[in-house]
Amino acid sequence: MKTGDRRIQDDVTQQIAWQPEVHSKDISVKVRDGNVTLTGFFHGYLEKMAAERATQGVYSIVSLANDIEVKPVGHAHRS
């Protein structure tokens, strides 16, 4: 990973961690040539949107793909 990408990854990870709406730790931040991809699982759309807003505030990001899945708490799978 390039030095710039590593810095972006660290900055994004810190920004997301500082968001009071984000409680889940099941998130991955990947960066390639300034393009950020968020993956993982959150329990609500508020968390997902807070993570996206925090990421967009990081300087030098080229693009953002928010691939975080929302799995509400207590959501039972029906067969």
Instruction: Write down the H helix ranges in the chain.
Output: 3-17, 45-56
The model's pLDDT over 68-77, given as tens digits with 9 standing for 90+, comes to 999 887 755 5
The model's pLDDT over 20-63, given as tens digits with 9 standing for 90+, comes to 999 888 899 999 999 999 999 999 999 999 999 999 999 999 99
Q: What is the pLDDT of residue 77?
A: 56
Is the pLDDT at 1 greater than 80? The verdict is no
What ranges do the domains of the chain cover? 3-70
The model's pLDDT over 16-26, given as tens digits with 9 standing for 90+, comes to 999 999 988 88
What is the CATH topology of the domain spanning 3-70?
Histidine-containing Protein; Chain: A; (3.30.1340)
φ, ψ of residue 75 in degrees (nearest 5): -80, 110
φ, ψ of residue 48 in degrees (nearest 5): -60, -45
